[in-house]
Structure 1
Amino acid sequence: MHKLRVAISTFVRDVARGVLTLTHSGLAMLGLVLVVGLGGAVFRPDLLSQAETSVYAFLRERQLSLWWEPQNTADRATATDLKDIPSRQAAVAAWLAKKYKVAPEPIAALVSEAYALSETSRLKPHLILAVMAIESSFHPYVQSQAGAQGLMQVMTEIHAQKYQKYGGKLAAFDPLTNMRVGVAVLQEYIRLKSGSVEQGLLFYLGGDSIQGETDYVAKVLAEQARLDQVAAGIKVSTQP
């Protein structure tokens, strides 16, 4: 038993000595690398720059995080260059940007999304955009006293379930998510009203409690008509 304890003690001591030796060697090597690197920086800055570029490329290719660098968040921005979308859509985006005094790039992304949603929802793209125009003037963080939120002023608490696949209710303030949920709600209401766009818009405005509120419907349809003209190449005033 005593011999076993001695053997274990010897083994642990040898391992510790080896680790210490390796650590010292490693630190010594690191010190040597730093000295050589500093020397290179003084006498051959061109080599230092090349080495730095190579290291950055190596890390980025392997998607390793560089904590000291600011993150590139451009890919998360809801924005599109006008030249990257079809000319009709670009004309609509430029007109809306001018009328509602917002940047054209995020509006271009919304216009492109409206056209994409139109194909799956069978709602006219300019109807979708007109609802956003009247509901929020393209400001994604608007909230009404009743609790309607975002671009299409969706009642988040009522339609919370529709936001679940997007990560929950806070997604109401993501422009594209708010559009998708708003379109789903409007599509559902139009179907509920036997396919009537006018009656679906009224229900979207306030459910069964809204009776004879034709002003809202008229505003949406008028804006849709103006967008149709803009897309067709007709000059339309942006003045109220």
Structure 2
Amino acid sequence: MTATEKIAQLGRGMRTFAGDVAEGFFEIMHNGFALVGLAVVFCIIMLSTRPELRQQGEERLTSWLTARQVAALGIRPEPDAIERATAANPGDLPREQANVAYWIAKKYKVAPEPLAALVAEAYAVGRGIRLDPTLILAVMAVESSFNPFAQSPVGAQGLMQVMTEIHSDKYLHFGGQYAAFDPKTNLRVGVKVLQECIARAGSIEGGLRYYVGAANLPSDGGYAKKVLAEHARLYQVAKGKPMPDNMPGLRAAAKPAEPTAVPATPANASAPAIKVASLS
């Protein structure tokens, strides 16, 4: 056999070897994929028949993903946090409510989304008891300028500046007195107090005097007039009437009235001994 023939024979042997190796590799891969497929099918069957295993797997996967997010972001994600937010899209409100929400947001420099939620709540609560929603919003405007964490020197708290200690029984239905700082809860309790004040006085103006704690005083420091003026503005805004930006009294709570026989104090601070103390 010549050298050329030997080289040719060696080449054929190498090709045969390479072909055998490739065929074996593909056979192994095919069998391997088949095994993986069987393993997946087995896992699916097991998870479908053993829901507790599926739950454990989901919990471990969630834990792993959370750990990865914490490592990447430096904070622990809390997907359910959105449920605690008092906010809504103003564009989703009926036109009347959207008018009010956008106008208040601009005047009081408050984000429109939380205001949208408050406006919707005021309309729902007000209509349920036949009390004009814009009156409720006017009380909030004068009392706290829509600051849900406002507090007066005598303990009136939240949006409606309810005397939390005096009306602690009303907060029992909402988990306790700290609910005074939940905007919607404070609104509901404040509206209940206002409703009782109006019923006791027999008129809205008289009820406002009771609400501010000035029913037995010579003057309420202009409080009722402030609220009614703001109510009139909000009512017109709700109906779509344009209102100028610089109308006086828009920030009544931030601009106390001139002293009268009884000085006006913001945020229900006047006459703490009288401040709707007898109402429950």
1:226 alignment partner AA: R
> Quick check: 1:197 aligned with 2:198?
no
2:110 alignment counterpart: 102
- Equivalent of 1:163 in 152, 171, 189: 171
Match for residue 226 of structure 2? 219
TM-score w.r.t. the length of structure 1 is: 0.71
Structure 1 residue 175 corresponds to structure 2 residue 183? yes
2: CA distance between counterparts of 1:71 and 1:163? 28
Structure 1 125/65 Cα, relative in aligned 2: closer, same or farther at 3 Å? farther
2:3: which partner in 1? none
Q: What is the aligned partner in structure 2 of residue 33 from structure 1? A: none
> Is 1:233 the equivalent of 2:247?
no
Check 1:114–1:64 CA distance in 2 against 1; reply closer, same or farther (3 A cut). Answer: farther
Pick one of 54, 60, 80 that aligns with 2:88. 80
Residue 147 (structure 1) shift: 0.6
What is the CA–CA distance in structure 1 between the aligned matches of 2:200 and 2:131, rounded to whole Å?
14
More helix by share: 1
Contact persistence 1:128–1:183 (CA under 8 A): yes
Would you say 1:115 and 2:119 are equivalent positions?
A: no
Q: Distance in 2 between matches of 1:78 and 1:107?
A: 8
The unaligned stretches of length 5 or more in structure 1 are 1-54
Q: How many Å separate the matches in 2 of 1:64 and 1:175? A: 33
1:119 positional shift: 1.8
Contact 2:159 2:183 in 1 (8 A): yes
* Alpha-carbon shift at residue 76 of structure 1 (Å): 1.5
Provide structure 2 residue ranges, at least 5 long, that are not aligned to the other structure.
1-53, 68-75, 249-280
Question: Separation in 1 of the partners of 2:65 and 2:130?
Answer: 45
| Deviation of 1:207 (Å) | 4.9
Kept after mapping to 1: 8 A contact 2:125/2:188: yes
Name the CA shift for 1:59/1:85 in 2 (closer, same or farther; >3 Å): farther
- The one-character-per-residue Cα deviations of 1:85-106 (angstroms, maximum 9, x if unpaired) are 1111011000000000000000
The SS at the match of 1:140 is: coil
Q: What SS does structure 2 have at the residue aligned with 1:126?
A: helix
User: What is the aligned length?
Assistant: 182
Per the normalisation by structure 2, the TM-score is 0.61
8 A contact 1:121–1:183 mirrored in 2: no
Q: How does 1:113-152 map to 2 (within 5 A)?
A: 113-152=121-160
Summarize deviations over 1:4-30 as a string: whole Å, max 9, x none: xxxxxxxxxxxxxxxxxxxxxxxxxxx
Query: Taking structure 1 as reference, are residues 227 and 113 closer, same or farther at Cα in structure 2, changes over 3 Å only?
Result: same
Tell me the SS of whatever aligns to 1:116.
Answer: helix
1:146-167 CA-partner distances (Å, limit 9, x unpaired): 1100000000000000000100
How far is the alpha carbon of 1:120 from its aligned partner? 1.8
- Distance, in Å, in 2 between the alignment partners of 1:185 and 1:214 is 20
Contact 2:158 2:186 in 1 (8 A): yes
Letter in 2 for 1:201: L
Select the structure with the greater relative contact order (CA < 8 A; seq sep ≥ 6): 2
| 3-state secondary structure, aligned to 2:213 | helix
Q: CA deviation at 1:237?
A: 1.8
Provide the rounded CA distance (Å) in 2 between the counterparts of 1:210 and 1:150: 24
Report the CA distance shift for 1:123/1:159 in structure 2 as closer, same or farther (over 3 A).
same
Q: Give the distance between the partners of 2:226 and 2:64, measured in 1 at CA.
A: 49
